Structures are given as structure tokens and as C-alpha cells.
Chains A and B, each alone.
With several copies, the nearest count.
Chain A
Amino acid sequence: MQEKERLDRQTIALRVAKEFQDGNVVNLGIGLPGLACNFVPAGREVLFHAEIGVLGFGEMTAPGEGDWELVNAGGQTVHEQPGMSCFDHAEAFVMIRGGHVDVSVMGAFQVSEKGDLANYMVPERQIGVIGGAMDLASGAKKLIIAMNHTTKDGQPRVLKQCTYPITALNCVKLLITDIAVIEVTEKGMVLKEVAPEWTPEEVQRLTEPTLIVDPDCHEIELM
């Protein structure tokens, strides 16, 4: 049986960006989350934060162009825009740890039913890359995880309990994957949206915890 098409990285980033509300301060993690700065819904003003020490930057520049002293957390050059401010690393984390950042978007290896996050170490590697992930996961008002729903060999990454080392406990609020949008609530994980042509049952089959299907569950809307 041929599996149905999943969303690509750009499309996941597009869906993530839909979450950003007017005036939100949003920190975008390295990789896929970083792409979301390119897709702010028209008419909304969102302030992007990078822990390297910048708030209010614009879209990414073409690779190899741009000011090499104006980069996001992934080292990609971004455009300057009016209102932007720069600061040092301690200040960047005063903002994060102090709860001043509205939304943090990160990738993950695993997310548990309770919203525990594992994204800093693959156990086989034994060495982790903590970076700013622990600070962002505990500090941001709302943590959105953007990731592939399953591992390369098809195993679920949305689990009852994380088997990988934990980045932070009870922190994930919303999960946006290549096949679904899932909210983490006190009652459990609620399936809100599915990728085009996917059914809630198909998503459930690739998810370890039992999903509560929202009565209003619908196809992922991108605009």
C-alpha cells in the first residue's frame, strides 16, 4: 500500500506561522521552525526573537547574501527591518527564561501525551546538544513543536512516554507534524487537523497515545 503524501517542510512552516497572532514575540528554532519567519500571515505584525540576541528581524535573505553579522539561531542571514533591536546573550535569555517570549517553535525527536519534550539527544549518540532548547521549552508562554510524525522507518514519535532523554516536562502546547495538528490538553491529546486526504484513523495508527478527535477536526488550513 502506497502511503499518502505528507506535508513538506515549507508547508509545515506555513501552517506553524498561522498560529502567530498580532504583536506576538516568536522564537524560531534551528531548521524547519526557522522557515516560519517567511510566512507571517498578511496584515499581521509579528516580532521574531532569536536567542543569539535579536528581536524583530525580517525574512531570511538568499543564502550567501545578507549581512553575516545579522543571523538567526541557525546561522542563516536575515533581513533587518525597522524596530529591530540587538542585545547580548544574557539579555536574550532574560527574555526567554523570564516569560517574555509568547511563542517558541522547535523541532523534536519525541513528544509525550503529557507534553514532555525530547529533542536534545538521540540516546545512541550519548552526547546531547542542549543549546537553548531547555530554556525555551521552560520559558516560553506557548511551545509549538514542528516535526515529522514518525521516524524514518515509520515508528511513532508521538508517544505515551518519551524514551529519549527529556528536554523539559509538560511544556508542549501544540504539535504540528507532516500529517496532523494536535493540541496537548489536560484531558489528553486532541486531534484538530489532518493533512489533505488523511483520516483521523490513519493519524491514530501512527500515534502511540489515544487521540481525542475534536468534533470540529478538519483538513489542515494553510491560509
Chain B
Amino acid sequence: MPVNKIVDSFDEAVADIEDGATIMIGGFGIVAGAPSLLLEALARKGSKDLTMVSNVTGFGKMVWKQLGFKFAEDPDILVRNGQIKKAIATAPVSTIYENNFERLLRAGKVELETVSQGTLAERIRAAKAGLGGVYVSVGVGTVVEEGKETKIIDGKKYILELPLKADFALIKAHKGDRWGNLVYRRTSRTFNAVMAGAATVTIAEVEEIVELGELDADAIHTPGIYVDRVVVRPLVIEEEEVEINAEAKESYEKFKERKGN
């Protein structure tokens, strides 16, 4: 039988994500790299008490609009839906406004583990790579060191960082095939490619499904070995009105003027 990892719908793709699961969510916090339709499906399913591993806990529509992007969901949809028990993230709150996660955190309704970004990537990779742990010097002398084993290696102090594994990884790619081979576009690769294979089940949301062989062997970013399910987006995500942030506009105009001189 030909291998076929393609599933027919987003709801089917997330059907076995039960209450209490640990899930990884790809992307950086920038909407283009987020598995938006998988997140919407998981919101519809309504699984509770999830532990969520992601770079950000979600900014929600406001920030995307200010950045001038077409709108799509980010991890915030699970937060505002009350599905998250704990977040492991590098940027759990916003520096400019109070996001939904911060509100719940201040109300004592969610837990938080803050991780440095490079260490988050390395811990996820360690799980995927079957390593027992890695020594990282980032965070020495800071809050990140608290409660962790340290070791002097070659005269320098390192913190022992342990692998981070999940039950499910929800990721977003540009194209995929029936073996689960994936390619990403530009800065949307980010945590998506890192998380692929670091969970028991990796589910990829793609913009396009291509025939086996269409992706060049040398240019595949995520070999199919790491991917369990592939589900394709409808052609166009609903676009919403976009307002450009006034400050960004002004700053750009000033820059253009200066360059003109």
C-alpha cells in the first residue's frame, strides 16, 4: 500500500488531541508561520488543560493588524478559549499591552515556564535527537539558572537543559507530499522545522500538497520521517481589513526622507 499521510480535514487531523496533552505550536509569533487552521480546529474540539510549548503565547488580532498583516490565528486562540493549563514560552506576554495570557496568569489561572529562545530550540531538538540533555551557558547568573544543575566545563559555567518532548506538534509548512516531506518559505521555517519530529505525533498544515517527487531531494527541509499527518489549507484564508500602525508609518516616512537627502 502506498504510504499516505494526508488527512482530509483539520478536525480529523486534531481529533485525538485529548485533555491534558502537551502540544508544540510552530511559528515564531509572526502570523505567517503559525498553524492557524489546526489551532482553530483544536479550539473547536475544545480539549482542556493543555500544556503549550511555543515561542509566544499569542498576540491576537490587534497586533497582527497593526503590523499590517492579513489575519490568521496564533496560539492566543487556545489561551482566550481557556484551553491552556501551562505555557512554556520565551515571550509569554507583550511588552506593549496586556495580552490574554497575561490576564489569565495574573488571575492565577495558568502556569508559566519562561525559557530563553535558543535554549527552547535546543531542548526541542534534544528530544527529537534522543539526547539526555545539553549544557548551555546562556542564562548563567540569571533567573534561568535557578533550580537547575550547573557544571564547569573547560573553565566555563554551563546549565544542564533537559529535552522537551510533546504529544503533538502542530506545525505549518509551505508545501508537503504524501510521505510527509515538507518545505517552508523564507522566515516561516522557524520553530516549525525544529518541532517536526519532537512530538509523538507531528501534524503539518500546508498551503499546497504536491505529488511525490515534485520537491527536490536536496531542497526538502523536513524529511517525511518526522511527519505523521499532512492537511492542506483552503486556497485563501479570509482576509480582514488591515489598519497600518500610525507610528510605524511615520517612522518609515522619516527614514525615506532621510534617505532622499
Contact = CB atoms under 8 A, between A and B. Distances in A.
A touches B in complex, CB < 8 A: yes
Given A85-B224, A94-B128, A131 B117 contact: yes
Contacts of A91: 223
Most buried by A among B69, B189, B244: B189
A28 B256 CA distance: 19
Nearest to B116: A134
B223 A90 contact: no
A99 B161 CA distance: 19
B181 A85 contact: yes
Interface in A85-101: 85-101
Nearest to B2: A45
B224 A55 contact: yes
Contact of A85 (B118, B211, B220, B242): B220
A96 B102 CA distance: 29
Nearest to B26: A89
A144 B192 CA distance: 30
A67 to B, nearest CB: 7
Nearest to B213: A82
Interface stretch (A58-66, A153-161, A189-197, A199-207): A58-66
B116 A132 contact: yes
A166 interface: yes
Contacts of B115: 130
Interface in B63-81: 63, 67-70
A97 B3 contact: no
Nearest to B93: A127
Nearest to A139: B130
A43 interface: yes
A127 B105 contact: yes
Interface in A8-52: 9-10, 14, 22-23, 25, 35, 38, 43-45, 47, 49-52
A88 to B, nearest CB: 4
Interface residues of A, number: 72
A134 B125 CA distance: 19
A219 interface: no
B137 A69 contact: no
Interface residues of B, number: 87
A166 B189 contact: no
Given A68-B70, A139-B130, A90 B197 contact: no
A130 B244 contact: no
A90 B95 contact: no
B91 interface: yes
Interface in B101-157: 102, 105, 112, 114-119, 121-122, 124-125, 127-131, 136-144
Interface string A101-142: 100000000000000000000000101111111110011000
Given A10-B254, A22-B3, A68-B32, A130 B220 contact: no
Interface stretch (B7-15, B39-47, B245-253): B245-253
A5 B70 CA distance: 39
B117 A51 contact: yes
A88 B198 CA distance: 14
Contacts of A168: 138-139, 141-142
B139 A134 contact: yes
Contacts of B249: 63
Contact of A88 (B3, B129, B141, B189): B189
A215 interface: no
A76 B67 contact: yes
A86 B142 contact: no
A64 B125 contact: no
Contacts of A70: 186-187
B1 A165 contact: no
B70 A56 contact: no
Nearest to A88: B193
B122 A88 contact: no
A90 B181 contact: no
Contacts of B144: 130, 134
Top 10 A-B residue pairs of the complex, sorted by shortest distance between their CB atoms: A82-B213, A93-B118, A64-B68, A135-B118, A88-B193, A97-B130, A132-B117, A85-B220, A85-B223, A98-B130
Given A134-B116, A135-B119, 5 more contacts: A38-B255, A80-B217, A127-B112, A129-B91, A168-B138
21 contacts: A45-B2, A45-B3, A47-B3, A55-B224, A63-B244, A69-B187, A70-B186, A71-B32, A76-B248, A86-B187, A88-B190, A89-B28, A89-B190, A92-B190, A93-B121, A97-B122, A130-B115, A131-B90, A135-B117, A138-B137, A166-B142
